[in-house]
């Protein structure tokens, strides 16, 4: 998801479930604990179990209906600024260490290189 800091929204640029979550769909995150934690402060969010997902996501019924019970949201940061998030969900209630490690590696791959070290 791409983060629009001014509007305090995230917009989907990829979806593995386009029927439920079409590309281009956006979500408001202003004045939410999740928005402050992930988008403004740049921290990873880990949600285990339906209660945690219900607490933080307005679309919790869709998430639950898909059989998903745990989530990791990772901010994509460049020069300390959040550009967007990588969101991964699993059917298991508890996140395994491999889930977290995989998510962190994928987030690193999604982060742009703004150091100028790659020159064509």
Instruction: For residue 88, tell me if it sits in a domain.
Output: yes
The pair of structure tokens assigned to 98 is 């491999």
Name which of 86, 78, 71, 69 is nearest 113 in CA terms: 78
118 in a domain, yes or no? no
CATH of the domain at 61: 3.30.450.40
- Looking at the 3D structure of the chain, how many domains does it have? 1
**pTM, entire model:** 0.87
Domain containing residue 64: 2-110
CA atoms within 13 A on the CB side of 101: 3
Task: For residue range 69-94, list pLDDT tens digits in order.
Answer: 999 999 999 888 999 999 999 999 99
Structure tokens at 44: 């990873």
Confidence (pLDDT) at 25? 84
């Amino acid at each position: 998801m791409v983060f629009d800091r001014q509007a305090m929204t995230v917009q989907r640029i990829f979806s593995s479930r386009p029927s439920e979550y079409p590309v281009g769909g956006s979500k408001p995150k202003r004045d939410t604990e999740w928005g402050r934690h992930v988008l403004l402060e740049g921290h990873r969010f880990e949600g285990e179990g339906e209660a945690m997902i219900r607490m933080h996501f307005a679309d919790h019924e869709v998430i639950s209906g898909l059989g998903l019970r745990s989530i990791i949201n990772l901010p994509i940061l460049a020069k300390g600024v959040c550009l967007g998030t990588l969101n991964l969900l699993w059917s298991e209630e508890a996140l395994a260490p491999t889930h977290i490690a995989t998510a962190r590696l994928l987030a690193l791959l999604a982060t742009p290189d703004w150091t100028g070290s790659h020159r064509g």
